[in-house]
Amino acid sequence: MSENKPRPVRFAIVGSNFITEKFLAAAPQSPGFVLDTFYSRSPDRAREFAARFGAPHAESDWQRLLASDTVDAVYLATPNACHAQQACALLAAGKHVLCEKPAARSAAELEQMLGAAQTAGRVLMEAMRPAHLPALAALREGLARVGTVRHVSLSYCQYSSRYDKFKNGILENAFRPELGNGALMDIGVYCVNLALLLFGAPRRILAAGSFLPGAIDACGSAVWAYDGFEAVLSYSKVHQSNVPGAVEGENGTLFLEPVPVPAKIWFEARGGGRELVFDAREEEHDMRFELDDFLAAVGGRLDPAPWQQLSRTAARCLDEMRAQIGIDFAPGARQG
């Protein structure tokens, strides 16, 4: 085998939803990815997805998955409340884990997962797309053009199709507190991570949110205080907004859209003039970038520590925001 050719990594997929399908559409573009097993608690669903995506094995027994000698790594895309327990078990069984965002419901849970990875000598990485996109380098280079930063706005407001069901009396997983979901954890987490990627941790956080009756947070916002400027983060699952993100400086403004996974970046100078900085709107399978980096970490070609530290910092910021907003994941908890 050529030294430059990545060693094949055999994957099991745990979780069957739209993000899983998006991941599997992108995965074949990552050299070294091999689909081996599809896991679901439902044998019929495991067989259905395995047949659809060409996995040679379908599994519905968790203990058999843990003991499998044909699985090297797992893409974990189950509800947030399941991540810590499942990831720790998979890591202890010798599997590397690429865990969908948010990796954990709290900083404490994340430390348990990272500890399990260290003990097992395996890689745990959060599947946070903005941290792996080519757009990130363009954003960082573009920051130098705005001069001294004076204001930042990052907004991700996406009307959820599940909200229509909620209004009709159907409470789906997306709005169930005990599953660790809600607007902040599902949507706002992108704004949190992008702010951290560009500016690091804030000096102070002020957060507020609104709730749906008998459910979890529907929308919210936060002001992050930095030296010399504030970053305003806003997010929602109950209304739509297509406002681009903006980094406003003394020399001009750097715009980006969409905020969760920037595909277009442009600069507008203070005195006039607009220049396109980055354009990847034709990139259909951008989840391949996080998979590429995960495979490189598994193969020992990249150190996962910087991404793990990003996850740690994000988890602490999310803890602070939830405490201020009053988000409680306990079943039946009164929110707000």
- What pLDDT, on the 0 to 100 scale, is given for residue 2? 43
Do 159 and 122 belong to one domain?
Answer: no
Do 140 and 123 belong to one domain?
Answer: no
**CATH of residue 153:** 3.30.360.10
Do 76 and 166 belong to one domain?
Answer: no
Give the end of a domain, one of 108, 127, 146: 127
* 79-111: pLDDT as tens digits: 999 999 999 999 999 999 999 999 999 999 999
User: What integer best gives the mean pLDDT of the chain?
Assistant: 94
| In-domain check, residue 209 | yes
* pLDDT confidence bin for 177, thresholds 50/70/90: confident
Do 176 and 282 belong to one domain?
Answer: yes
Closest CA to 32 of 294, 307, 284, 304: 294
Give the end of a domain, one of 79, 107, 127: 127
Q: What domain range includes position 200?
A: 131-286+316-325
Do 195 and 120 belong to one domain?
Answer: no
In this structure, are strands 96-100 and 73-76 parallel, antiparallel, or unpaired? parallel
Do 120 and 138 belong to one domain?
Answer: no
Handedness of CA 188, 191, 194, 200 (dihedral sign): negative
Least confident of 24-38, 85-99, 272-286, 316-330: 272-286
Q: Please state the domain count of the chain.
A: 2
Do 225 and 76 belong to one domain?
Answer: no
**CATH of residue 111:** 3.40.50.720
All residues at 6 or more sequence positions from 21 whose CB lies less than 8 Å from its CB, including other chains: none
Do 114 and 237 belong to one domain?
Answer: no
- What pLDDT, on the 0 to 100 scale, is given for residue 336? 63
| In-domain check, residue 294 | no
| In-domain check, residue 176 | yes
- What pLDDT, on the 0 to 100 scale, is given for residue 148? 97
Which tokens belong to 236? 């929602």
| In-domain check, residue 302 | no
| In-domain check, residue 307 | no
Do 231 and 215 belong to one domain?
Answer: yes
Do 86 and 13 belong to one domain?
Answer: yes
The percent of residues in the chain predicted with pLDDT above 90, rounded, is: 84
Inform me whether the pLDDT recorded for 4 exceeds 80. no
* 221-270: pLDDT as tens digits: 999 999 999 999 999 999 999 999 999 999 999 999 999 999 999 999 99
| In-domain check, residue 120 | yes
| In-domain check, residue 177 | yes
Do 161 and 174 belong to one domain?
Answer: yes
Do 60 and 14 belong to one domain?
Answer: yes
Per-residue 3-state assignment (H helix, E strand, C coil) for the chain: CCCCCCCCEEEEEECCCHHHHHHHHHHHHCCCEEEEEEECCCHHHHHHHHHHHCCCEEECCHHHHHHCCCCCEEEECCCHHHHHHHHHHHHHCCCEEEEECCCCCCHHHHHHHHHHHHHHCCCEEEECHHHCCCHHHHHHHHHCCCCCEEEEEEEEECCCHHHHHHHCCCCCHHHCHHHCCCHHHHHHHHHHHHHHHHHCCCCEEEEEEEECCCCCEEEEEEEEEECCEEEEEEEECCCCECCCEEEEECCEEEEEECCCCCCEEEEEECCCCEEEEEECCCCCCCCHHHHHHHHHHHCCCCCCHHHHHHHHHHHHHHHHHHHHHCCCCCCCCCCC
